Amino acid sequence: MFFFNSYLNNVVKHDLINKFFYTNLKQIPKLETIVLNFGYQNSNFKHLISGLLALELLSSKKSRLTRSKHLNVFLKIKKGNPVGCKIVLKKTTMHVFYLKLITSVFPKIKHNKTAQSQQNVKSVKSISIIIKNPLLFLELESQYQFFKDIPKLDITILTDSKSQNEIFFLLKSVKFFI
C-alpha cells in the first residue's frame, strides 16, 4: 500500500506537472472515488444476496441495495423494489481495491477480452469499465458455488480532472487498462 501512495505522490504528480504545466498544486487531478455496481434484471432475493456478499468480499466494506425509482411494466419491476447493489470506495479502501484490480484482474482481462471500456461522454470526470466475468477476482473464484450467477460488474472511476486529456493521462500513468 505504501509503495502505491509513494508512486502516486512522486511519479504520477511529477509526470502530470511536466505534461500539463500546472501553476498550482491543487490543480493536479487525483482519483476521488471508485463505484462498484451489480445490476439485476429481476429482483430475485438469492441473487441480490450473492451480489451483496460479492461486493463485500471485493472491497471489505458493507454494500447497499439500490432500489428502482420508476415503475417498469416490461421488466415487471415495481417502484421501490431492489434492482441491484453498489458500494462507493474512497481513500485507502479505494487504493487497496485499485491495486487488486491492477495486479490480479487486468492481466487476465488482456488475454481473455472479458472487459468492455466505455467513456461517459456527458462527464469529463469519470470513466467506466464493465467486467463481464467477475469471477476473475481471486476472492470470488475460490467461492464459485456461491457466486456463479452474479452479473457483470460495473466499475466507475471518478476523478477531479478538467479535460479528457488529463483523465486519460492520469489513468494511463496509474496503469489503468483502457
Q: Cα–Cα distance between 84 and 159 in angstroms, integer?
A: 24
Can you give the pLDDT at residue 37?
94
Q: Tell me the per-residue pLDDT of 118-165, one tens digit each, with 9 for 90 and over.
A: 554 456 788 888 898 899 999 999 989 888 889 999 999 998 888 888
The answer to whether residue 166 sits within a structural domain is yes
The answer to whether residue 137 sits within a structural domain is yes
The answer to whether residue 10 sits within a structural domain is no
Amino acid at 19: K
Instruction: Tell me the sheet residues that pair with 129.
Output: 117, 155
The residue range of the domain holding 37 is 32-173
- Residues of the chain under the 70 pLDDT cut: 72-76, 110-123, 177-178
Can you give the pLDDT at residue 73?
58
The answer to whether residue 24 sits within a structural domain is no
Answer positive or negative: Cα dihedral of 112, 114, 116, 117.
negative
Phi, psi angles (nearest 5°) of residue 23: -95, -20
pTM score: 0.85
The answer to whether residue 15 sits within a structural domain is no
CATH at residue 155: 3.30.1440.10
Q: What share of the chain is helix, strand, coil (3-state, %, to 5)?
A: 45, 25, 30
Can you give the pLDDT at residue 90?
94
Total tally of structural domains belonging to the chain: 1
